[in-house]
Structure 1
Amino acid sequence: MIEGVRLVEEALAAGLPFQGALVAPDLARTARGVALVAELERHAIPVEEIGVRTFAQLADTEAPQGIIAVIEPRRWDAAEFAPRPGAVALVIDGVQDPGNVGTLIRTAHALGAAGTVVLRGTADPTSPKALRAAMGATFRHPVVLLDDAGFIAWARKHAVTLWAAAADGTPLHRALGKGAGKGDAGSVDDGPIAVIVGNEGAGIRPQLNAVAAQRVAIPLAQGAESLNVAVAAGILLYEVTRGR
């Protein structure tokens, strides 16, 4: 289920299948709302108007915008996600806040990541809160759900180098400088890299740290303890992508 004008517009633009939509009378008070209903009807999507009180009971947000839709989000599998040489991917390990998960997917999409792998213990990326936080990125950006064994097998199959974010890791600028100019086929400079970010409190699980080729850190100002996981992922993805 998705809610809000922007998210429904994004789902339509992405060509996702709709089961139907519920609208409140307030939606017709804006030109954008009227246009959205017309577009839904043009796609032969059932639209039903319900009362304000009923809509408020169904809505998941505190200030609903007058439209809720039921969609069928795309399901990606590992076979469809084969990162090319030079690509960068994001891996989310055990991030439990759905808002953070959605923001991570939005960030990965905006920074040109090839896709995002979601591991066990992570909030559902298709939950209403995660979809709202992703601002439509989930509808276009490959998001693959894998268990640990499937993830490790995927990384080995596609020769993906794993970098784990860690407060005590190698400073990012030093990690990016390693191997510069080698030009070896299949080296970290040429092959795909997957950046792993972990749980807001506990970080990345030990079994994933064990298979990572490198643990990298973002140097922080003295006295600063940590960054929000989505902010950290944005910095890491930007710098790794730029350094390719």
Structure 2
Amino acid sequence: MPDPISSPQNPRIKALVRLQQKSAERRQQGLTIVEGLRELTIARAAGIAVPAVYVCPELLPAAGQQELRQALAADTEWFEVSRAVFEKVAYREGSDGVLALVRAPQRRLQDLPLPPNPLVLVLEAVEKPGNLGAVLRTADAAQADAVIVCDPRTDLYNPNAIRSSIGCVFTVPVVATTREELLGWCRQHGIRTYAAALTPQARPYTDYDFRGPTALVMGTEADGLTPELMQACDETIIIPMRGYIDSLNVSTATAVLAFEAVRQRQG
């Protein structure tokens, strides 16, 4: 094993910081950063390649190190780092002392394996990594078949999205695409699209049957869906609000709709 890294100026540490901070760097290298033993274990269970792992022995006890070694492939490089160095590259408080370099999956719409009756969650122009991560957790919990992001404003493997998803970005197939490609793909596969939007023609989501091939289409909290995508969808649905506010956080709204689809399919 290499000598412990004790300088924040180490070239490997500088490279990790660039990956953490720059989406262009992540896209160019096809790599991202996963922090946390739980998240990394989930990534490995999903078959994600881990070229290197950085461990702070002061934060990760021997038992945790042993668990981590068992989860990693034999060719994963292992580096020990000082606490000061780890705190330079860590991006969350209360970290457990594990940070890894992982290879981000590269998927296209045509690569998605679909069952005969798919349930797909669609996000348009998502820009907050926390919202993306929360929707991915919902997708994992509801066992959705894919999360498709149209014209994203954040990269899918932003470290903060990975953190917010608790690693579920690796358990659910996720793809970035354009609005036009999404609509053509849904038509090709016979998937009915339901736009969640606050419009006069929208009907309560409980009026609809989600037992067939279904795509639940969500917009941003600030602007909602673009008129082009909303008008191109087969139906427009709404979650009736009984209080003063007229909408929910996008991740909460997605969870409501996704689990209604799950309920109907189980029934």
Partner of residue 121, structure 2: 90
Q: Answer yes or no: is the 8 Å Cα contact 2:118–2:214 preserved in 1.
A: yes
Q: How does 1:21-170 map to 2 (within 5 A)?
A: 21-29=53-61, 31=63, 33-39=64-70, 43-168=74-199, 169-170=202-203
* Unaligned 5+ runs, structure 2: 1-32
1:173 correspondence with 2:206:
yes
Q: Distance in 2 between matches of 1:218 and 1:118?
A: 21
TM-score, length-scaled by structure 1: 0.88
Q: List per-residue Cα deviations over 1:146-193 (Å, max 9, x = no partner).
A: 1122112211111111100012321111234xxxxxxxxxxx754x11
Q: Distance in 2 between matches of 1:134 and 1:109?
A: 9
How far does residue 229 in structure 1 lie from its aligned partner after superposition? 0.6
Compute the RMSD of aligned alpha carbons.
Answer: 1.8
* Unaligned 5+ runs, structure 1: 177-187
How far does residue 50 in structure 1 lie from its aligned partner after superposition? 1.1
Identity %: 29
1:229 correspondence with 2:250:
yes
Q: Distance in 1 between matches of 2:257 and 2:57?
A: 44
Q: How does 1:175-194 map to 2 (within 5 A)?
A: 175-176=208-209, 190=212, 192-194=213-215
Count residues in correspondence: 231
How far does residue 84 in structure 1 lie from its aligned partner after superposition? 3.4
- Compare relative contact order (CA 8 Å, sep 6+) and give the higher one, 1 or 2: 1
In structure 2, the CA distance between the partners of 1:86 and 1:67, relative to structure 1 (3 Å rule), is same
Q: Which amino acid aligns with 1:98?
A: P
Q: Distance in 2 between matches of 1:41 and 1:77?
A: 27
Partner of residue 196, structure 1: 217
Q: Answer yes or no: is the 8 Å Cα contact 1:40–1:47 preserved in 2.
A: no
Helix, strand or coil for the counterpart of 2:47? coil
Dislocated runs of 4+, deviation >3 Å = 82-85
How far does residue 74 in structure 1 lie from its aligned partner after superposition? 1.9
